[in-house]
Amino acid sequence: MSRLIQAGRRPDLILESSELAGLHIYLSLSLLCRAFSRDEGDHWWRLSRAYAEDYAGEWDRLTLNYDADEDSVVDAGERDTVAERPELIR
């Protein structure tokens, strides 16, 4: 959620939290594989990087039903994209 906040978005204004499911799955898998990794370049490290790339791609394609005016309705122009691509660091 901090990435949304850094992009200037309030998580509580997202009307469909399911839009974030794929994003959370890829990030979780990337972090889990990284935890199993013992060395850069091993199987788990490569798998972690692959999931991190999937996460970044999912972030790039992310659009949200975002209720900017807080009226509980997505009006024209309120379907929005997230501004910045995330960076994962070890």
pLDDT 10s digits, 27-69: 999 999 999 999 999 999 999 999 999 999 998 888 777 777 7
Over residues 63-90, the pLDDT tens digits come to: 777 777 777 776 766 665 454 444 444 4
Taking the CB of residue 87, how many other CB atoms lie within 10 A of it? 8
pTM: 0.71
CA distance 33 to 46: 9
SS3 content of the chain, % helix, strand, coil (to 5): 50, 10, 40
Q: Do residues 20 and 59 touch, judged by C-beta distance below 8 A?
A: no
According to the model, what pLDDT value does residue 70 have?
Answer: 76
pLDDT band at 1 (very low <50, low <70, confident <90, very high): low
